[in-house]
Amino acid sequence: MAQLLKATTHDIGGIEVKRLLPHMKKRMVGPFIFFDRMGPSHFPQGRGIEVKPHPHIGLSTLTYLIEGKVLHRDSLGNQLEIAPGDVNWMTAGKGIVHSERESFETRGKPHHIDGLQSWVALPKAYADIAPSFEHINRDELPQSIQGGIMKRVIAGHAYGLTSPIRTYSPLFYVDIIATMQNTLDLPSDTQETAIYIIFGALRIDDVEYNAGDLVLIEDLHSRVITLEDSRVILLGGDKWDSVPYIHWNFVSFSKARIDQAKLDWENGHFPAIPDDNLEFVPLPTRK
């Protein structure tokens, strides 16, 4: 059995994103509490992504690009450009601020952007750890190829491969490209699992799914077959006993902690980004 989770569409800093988690039917899959597809979008020269400085607490963000480049800056002083296949893993912990923009070189010519962004909730024991940032080059990520199936483990552990990224709960996040009429083995028969289809089509048991679908696998012994040459993301992990609260960019098991983070952002108590501190995203007001 499988369940299709349909996306909602949002505009974030000038780019259209399709939001698949959190969902009314499923708030999180393993520790994954947020999953966006950025684009695919095209920008003319002089235009691009403008995600202004904004805060996070209680989570790790995972950015993984399919096409294009994004310039990351944060309040720890990191400034670097992420390319397709690389991983930006930012752990907010007790609080961090970051922005996502573009370099002069990228914005100076027509360009495309296409990628995935996820939030991974931190367990209670790690919710207020010191913030940190890792950038992992695609060549450092473990991968395998066999029988027309390429696998790259982006984060966590799957298929006997372990990503170098430090995670705080059991999880997997895997990029797979497979030729048509291949059978995809699921990475675990005990952990919550979802499949996002970047391109191609799958049959899961007797139902067909297509590009852009996020499918929650309810029977971990389901048969997954590629109907076309396909690229998918497999994500999941141990099921959590309780789901943390989420408000704007803040994740916590405590509503009081979220309220404090809101006040801290409004009053300028979060740290600033050294080279990007002239503007910011204001705290949204509920209508």
Domain boundaries, the chain: 2-237
Instruction: List all residues 6 or more positions away from 217 whose beta carbon is below 8 Å from its beta carbon.
Output: 2, 186, 193, 194, 195, 204, 224
What letters, b where the CB count within 10 A reaches 16 and e where it falls short, cover 105-121?
Answer: ebbeeebebbbbbbbbb
Classify burial at 8, counting beta carbons within 10 Å of its beta carbon; exposed 0-12, middle 13-18, buried 19 or more.
exposed
CATH number of 2-237: 2.60.120.10
Give, in order, the Cα–Cα distances in Å from 52 to each of 4, 66, 147, 184.
32, 22, 44, 39
Q: What is the pLDDT of residue 13?
A: 82
Q: What is the pLDDT of residue 14?
A: 85
- pLDDT tens for the chain, 287 residues long, are 799 998 999 988 889 999 999 998 899 999 999 999 999 999 999 999 999 999 999 999 999 999 999 999 999 999 999 999 999 999 999 999 999 999 999 999 999 999 999 999 999 999 999 999 999 999 999 999 999 999 999 999 999 999 999 999 999 999 999 999 999 999 999 999 999 999 999 999 999 999 999 999 999 999 999 999 999 999 999 999 999 999 999 999 999 999 999 999 999 999 999 999 999 999 998 64
> Which residues, in sequence order, are bridge partners of residue 29?
32
Give, in order, the Cα–Cα distances in Å from 175 to each of 13, 141, 208, 270.
26, 11, 20, 34
Give, in order, the Cα–Cα distances in Å from 36 to each of 120, 135, 242.
12, 19, 22
Q: What is the pLDDT of residue 92?
A: 98
Q: What is the pLDDT of residue 285?
A: 83
Residue type at position 63? T
Q: What is the pLDDT of residue 287?
A: 46
Place of tokens 């204001």: 282
Phi, psi of 191 (to 5 degrees): -90, 150
